[in-house]
């Protein structure tokens, strides 16, 4: 169709050109159009061939994809059939094994039933034999019973005859003889009971002492505390010796400003990279340490900055105390304290008792008390709580025994009655109302009396022990005196022939009064006066 149209167009154009330009020009134009027509036909054929080739390639690609898809589908089907056969085979084997196992169980049960049936038949035969034996025994017992009845009557008659003869010989009736016998038996029984009771008391005492020593020994061994001793100086480390010059300042103005602001003496010597802060007040010393460390970190050290930092430390020091209290509570695994109580606990870190840091002593006492409470089957948390707070009264700025002041504070801040009583009773100011009170007292004594816990020279310690024994020996009737428990207890043995029980109590009171008047000592000293009476007899 395209060729026909092109031909018509060419004919028309040829006629037009022939008419206008002439035949020659028309022929050339016709040849040109013919060539263009042939080129267009070639292009069309090439395009058609290319399209046919692409279509053939697509068809082959589609055939290949179809073959691949068919292969994959056949492979999936074969794999599924194989897996299905394996599953069926496995399930069949499992069912067969279960059926086999159940059959074996049924066979075992059947054999057990058969064995039980045989055993029951044997038991039945044995019961029949025993029944016959019992019937024979019953007949024999009946015969023996009749014989014994006859013998009893005979013996009773003989006893009556013997009793009449004994009454005639002894000159008393059988009732009087029975009363006399009962009296002698009662005296003997009382004597043996007294001996038995004394033995039981001694055994119980020995056992209790042994168990108490074991519990205390375990508590001491399991609580490995450091030997703490507070001093009047605090060492501050420096990054370099160049900082010493900045701390001193021009003509010593910085160090004077620091000492005036904190009330603490600053000692700078030849010791490399350290300075020493000296003061008897641990709170001032701690504030000075914090201020000095802040100034060293900041690097700006001059009088105005020193006053600013010291004022800032003063304002935030209460929070620092609370942080120390919270750390102590976390160290012991406790909780539920009133915020004011946490502040007082932190404040104990800046108090000492005979050179022993009060907070470290309280934490050590709490650990010891918890171990002893656990050994006795009690609640270790209650013991730790009471022991941690037992010396809290020492940080209260009021007059009175620290145990009672601490108990009042604990009660006011919501502690339970057991803890309050343990605090009040750990020095004997009130009677203990629970086992926790003596546990706290024992842990307090262990912590305070262990070697290195409190500063005291060997000579002072020996003099104190000798003075205790000298005071005891000055009393009439004293045979021996022993200062024990690191000077916390003195045992006095008196002569029972020269000292009565009432006088022994009087001696104990006089010794304790003289100790209070003439000596200085930590805590309390227990005075025990022993008056022993021994009754000795020899059986020949």
- Fold match, 233-449 / 458-531: no
| pLDDT value at 213 more than 60 | no
User: Across residues 512-524, what is the average pLDDT?
Assistant: 79
Question: What local confidence, expressed as pLDDT, does residue 457 receive?
Answer: 46
Question: What local confidence, expressed as pLDDT, does residue 91 receive?
Answer: 83
| pLDDT value at 227 more than 50 | no
DSSP class per residue in 131-193 = HHHHHHHHHHHHHHHHHHHHHHHHHHHHHHHHHHHHHHHHSS-HHHHHHHHHHHHHHHHHHHH
Pair of tokens at residue 36: 């263009």
pLDDT digits (tens, 9 = 90+) for 235-273: 888 888 777 888 888 888 888 888 888 888 888 877 777
Asked if 389 contacts 410 with a C-beta cutoff of 8 angstroms, the reply is: yes
| Domain spans of the chain, in order of start | 2-166, 233-449, 458-531
The number of angstroms, rounded, from the C-alpha of 299 to the middle of its chain's C-alpha atoms is 44
Question: What local confidence, expressed as pLDDT, does residue 116 receive?
Answer: 83
Question: What local confidence, expressed as pLDDT, does residue 414 receive?
Answer: 87
pLDDT digits (tens, 9 = 90+) for 261-313: 888 888 887 777 788 888 877 888 888 888 888 888 888 888 888 888 888 88
Q: Do β-strands 526-531 and 489-494 pair in parallel, antiparallel, or remain unpaired? A: parallel
- Quick one: fold of 233-449? Ribosomal Protein S8; Chain: A, domain 1 (3.30.1370)
Question: What local confidence, expressed as pLDDT, does residue 167 receive?
Answer: 63
- pLDDT band with cut points at 50, 70 and 90 for residue 230: very low
| pLDDT value at 8 more than 70 | no
Measure the CA–CA gap between 381 and 504, rounded to whole angstroms.
41
- pLDDT band with cut points at 50, 70 and 90 for residue 404: confident
CATH number of 458-531: 3.30.300.30
| Mean pLDDT for all residues in the chain | 79
The structure's pTM equals 0.46
User: Across residues 445-473, what is the average pLDDT?
Assistant: 69
Question: What local confidence, expressed as pLDDT, does residue 229 receive?
Answer: 41
- pLDDT band with cut points at 50, 70 and 90 for residue 19: low
Q: What b/e string do you get for 420-457 counting C-beta neighbours within 10 Å, with b at 16 or more?
A: bbbbbbbbeebebebbbbebbbbbbbbbbbbeebbebe
Listed in sequence order, the residues at least 6 apart from 135 whose beta carbon sits closer than 8 Å to its beta carbon are none
Between residues 503 and 9, the one the model is more confident about: 503
User: Across residues 464-476, what is the average pLDDT?
Assistant: 86
Pair of tokens at residue 365: 């006492």
Among residues 448, 440, 284, the alpha carbon closest in space to that of 356 is found at 448
User: Across residues 443-448, what is the average pLDDT?
Assistant: 77
pLDDT digits (tens, 9 = 90+) for 340-391: 888 888 888 888 766 678 888 888 888 888 888 888 888 889 888 888 888 8
User: Across residues 388-413, what is the average pLDDT?
Assistant: 86
* Beta-sheet strand order (sheet of 478-484): 478-484, 489-494, 526-531
Between residues 15 and 60, the one the model is more confident about: 60
């Amino acid at each position: 169709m395209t060729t026909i149209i092109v031909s018509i167009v060419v004919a028309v154009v040829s006629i037009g050109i022939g008419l206008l330009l002439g035949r020659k020009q028309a022929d050339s134009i016709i040849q040109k159009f013919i060539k263009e027509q042939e080129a267009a036909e070639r292009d069309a054929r090439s395009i058609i061939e290319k399209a046919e080739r692409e279509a053939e390639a697509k068809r082959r690609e589609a055939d290949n994809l179809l073959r691949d898809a068919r292969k994959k589908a056949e492979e999936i089907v074969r794999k599924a059939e194989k897996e299905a056969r394996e599953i069926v085979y496995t399930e069949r084997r499992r069912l067969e094994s279960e059926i086999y196992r159940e059959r074996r169980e049924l066979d075992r049960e059947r054999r057990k039933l058969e064995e039980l049936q045989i055993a029951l038949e044997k038991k039945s035969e044995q019961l029949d034999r025993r029944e016959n034996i019992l019937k024979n025994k019953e007949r024999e017992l009946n015969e023996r019973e009749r014989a014994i009845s006859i013998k009893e009557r005979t013996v009773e008659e003989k006893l009556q005859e013997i009793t009449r003869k004994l009454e005639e010989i002894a000159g008393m009736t059988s009732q009087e003889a029975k009363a006399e016998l009962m009296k002698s038996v009662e005296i003997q029984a009382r004597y043996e009971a007294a001996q038995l009771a004394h033995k039981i008391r001694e055994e119980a005492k020995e056992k209790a002492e042994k168990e108490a020593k074991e519990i205390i020994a375990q508590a001491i061994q399991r609580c490995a505390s450091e030997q703490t001793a507070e001093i009047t100086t605090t060492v501050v480390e420096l990054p370099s010796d160049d900082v010493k010059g900045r701390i001193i300042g021009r003509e010593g103005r910085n160090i004077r400003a620091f000492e005036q602001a904190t009330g603490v003496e600053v000692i700078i010597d030849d010791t490399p990279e350290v300075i020493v802060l000296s003061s008897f007040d641990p709170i001032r010393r701690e504030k000075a340490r914090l201020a000095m460390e802040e100034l060293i970190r900041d690097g700006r050290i001059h009088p105005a900055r020193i006053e600013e930092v010291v004022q800032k430390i003063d304002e935030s020091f209460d929070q620092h105390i609370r942080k120390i209290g919270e750390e102590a509570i976390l160290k012991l695994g406790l909780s539920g304290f009133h915020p004011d109580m946490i502040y007082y606990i932190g404040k104990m870190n800046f108090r000492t008792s005979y050179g022993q840091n009060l907070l470290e002593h309280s934490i050590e006492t709490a650990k010891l008390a918890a171990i002893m409470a656990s050994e006795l089957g009690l609640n270790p948390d209650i013991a730790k709580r009471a022991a941690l707070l037992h010396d809290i009264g020492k940080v209260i700025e009021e007059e009175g025994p620290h145990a009672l002041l601490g108990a009042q504070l604990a009660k006011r801040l919501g502690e339970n009655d057991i803890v309050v009583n343990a605090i009040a009773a750990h020095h004997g100011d009130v009677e203990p109302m629970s086992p926790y009170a003596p546990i706290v007292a024992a842990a307090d004594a262990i912590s305070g009396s262990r070697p290195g816990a409190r500063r005291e020279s060997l000579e002072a310690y020996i003099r104190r022990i000798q003075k205790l024994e000298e005071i005891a020996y000055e009393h009439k009737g004293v045979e021996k005196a022993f200062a024990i428990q690191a000077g916390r207890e003195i045992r006095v043995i008196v002569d029972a022939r020269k000292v009565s029980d009432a006088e022994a109590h009087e001696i104990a009171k006089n010794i304790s009064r003289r100790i209070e008047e003439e000596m200085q000592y930590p805590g309390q000293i227990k005075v025990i006066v022993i008056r022993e009476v021994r009754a000795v007899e020899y059986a020949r």
